Amino acid sequence: MISTIIASLHGKIPELKTLEDVLTSTIFGRLRYLPPEKILIPFLKSAQSYNPPGISLGEHLKNQGISLELYLTVLFKFWSKHPKYGEPDLILLFKGHQNGDPDLLMLIEAKLYSSKSGVGENDQLKRYYLAIHESINGFYDQDISEFKGHIAPLIYLTGFDAQAEINESTREIVEGGRVLKDPIFHLRWQQLSNILENYNNQYEPSLICNDLIDYLKHLNLLEYKGITLPSAEIKQALNKTQPVFYSLPLHSKQYFSNLPVVQINLNSNVFYRG
């Protein structure tokens, strides 16, 4: 069977950019084969809270005395159905804690270009929050319906800013006197690329990591790393009263012949504006 990633990179699935379910299964389906403590868990822990602002999921869990790295097993449950609240994209079950701590459940709802579905009582994030906090025994999947342990904060995974959506869902949850047990955390697909690259730099490069990086790049989901500033040599060469491209009579070579020779590394992008 041809890999979804390879087929996508070769233009065999042109509609893939709008198929969020395929994106979710492609990324997380392959993360199952990589050490969770090296990639999956750092990715999840990099999720951020808007209220309170600037708190990562890793910091939040640490404050509660929870260490994801100490769980020996992670079960991936894709599209587990709840008859009342719907079908979240992914539920992770962390089991077998090395210190005997309770198991942990984490729900992830993933988007690419679309926003959450439903408003008001039908707000998607609200429905999933209620499903895991008030009606977990309603899931058809027995591993979920019989779950006893920690319920981690809900994660909203997108490729775009989601503060307004999360704030709206939070208001819907607390309306009617509910107490929000944990904030909804926002995670971006782009945050995964740096973690994959760091893994390749620290350990033997993984073919799975390379495929995932190529796939994220194909979907324009790489983390923005800023620009590379020009070297001092380039700055000095361009620090002239006349620009490098300067209009001179065709027979004159004096200006250009006096310019210094500068070696420019074409392996990296350099932005310069004098």
pLDDT digits over 154-182, tens only?
A: 999 999 999 999 999 999 999 878 889 99
- Region 7-13 average pLDDT: 57
Q: How far is CA 53 from CA 49, 167, 190, 250, 253, in A?
A: 5, 12, 19, 61, 60
Looking at the structure, do residues 183 and 236 belong to the same domain, yes or no? no
Q: Is 211 found in the same domain as 246?
A: no
pTM of the model: 0.78
Give the residue-averaged pLDDT of 15-34: 81
Within this chain, do residues 246 and 273 fall inside the same structural domain, yes or no? yes
| Cα gap 12→211, rounded to integer Å | 16
108 with 160, same domain: the answer is: yes
- Residue 272, pLDDT above cutoff 60: no
Residue 246 and residue 188 share a domain: no
Give the H or E element holding residue 21: helix 20-31
113, 239: one domain: no
Integer Cα distance of 46 and 69 in angstroms: 14
The total number of structural domains in the chain stands at 2
What is the C-alpha to C-alpha distance for residues 273 and 236, in angstroms, rounded to an integer? 13
Shared-domain flag, residues 198 and 232:
no
Specify whether 32 is located in the same domain as 76: yes
- Averaged over 60-80, what is the pLDDT? 96
Identify the pLDDT of residue 150.
97
Do residues 211 and 256 both lie within one domain?
no
Q: Find out whether 58 and 40 touch, Cβ atoms under 8 Å.
A: no
- Which residue range forms the structural domain that includes residue 74? 4-218
Instruction: Give the confidence band of 113 by pLDDT, cuts at 50, 70, 90.
Output: confident
Asked if 87 and 124 sit in the same domain, the reply is: yes
Percentage of residues in the chain having pLDDT higher than 90: 62
Same domain? For 206 and 235 the reply is: no
pLDDT (average), residues 135-152: 97
Same domain, 59 and 186: yes
| End position of a domain, from candidates 218, 235, 261 | 218
